Amino acid sequence: MLAMSEVALKDALVTLKESGVRITPQRHAILEFLISSESHPTADEIYKALEHDFPNMSVATVYNNLRVFRNAGLVKELTYGDSSSRFDFVTHDHYHIICDQCGTIVDFHHPGLEEVEHLASHVTGFKVNSHRLEVYGTCPKCAKNAAAN
């Protein structure tokens, strides 16, 4: 039986092929890293994680591939939190809690929040396409560091 991340990778590769995108070793590695990552990495973090295996790959290559993945609907660019864009492999609707101090982004899901779309549509007459919820706070690591100082 395939692990969930293997299924996600296989499905992502099919999506890219159907979009006419050639699957290069770098694209495969970047996708695999994003799927296995829970940290919502920046392009620079992805580059640093993969540079040993791909010494000829540049940060620009990572950015260009992330743009391809975003255009194919596989990746969301998260432009909140700290000043760097972070990237999230899209598998399901979910929300984010963001540390004000270090920029860490953590996923969470709460089914009741989907009712917000229905209420917004009902009250305004809009056809809702999507929504984004951000919760800000201090992560346990930063809170622990602050308490120690």
Q: Are residues 7 and 76 in the same domain?
A: yes
Q: Are residues 50 and 107 in the same domain?
A: no
Q: Are residues 75 and 2 in the same domain?
A: yes
Residues near 43 by Cβ (< 8 Å), separated by ≥ 6? 59, 62, 63, 66, 84, 85, 87
Q: Are residues 82 and 112 in the same domain?
A: no
Q: Are residues 83 and 97 in the same domain?
A: no
Poorest-pLDDT segment among 41-45, 81-85, 142-146: 81-85
- Is pLDDT at 83 greater than 70 in this prediction? no
Q: Are residues 69 and 112 in the same domain?
A: no
Number of domains into which the chain is organized: 2
Residues near 76 by Cβ (< 8 Å), separated by ≥ 6? 70, 87, 88, 90
pLDDT in tens, 1-41: 446 678 888 888 888 888 888 999 999 999 999 988 878 89
Structural domain that includes position 97: 92-149
Q: Are residues 25 and 6 in the same domain?
A: yes
pLDDT at 1: 46
pTM: 0.72
Q: What is the mean pLDDT of residues 109-136?
A: 85
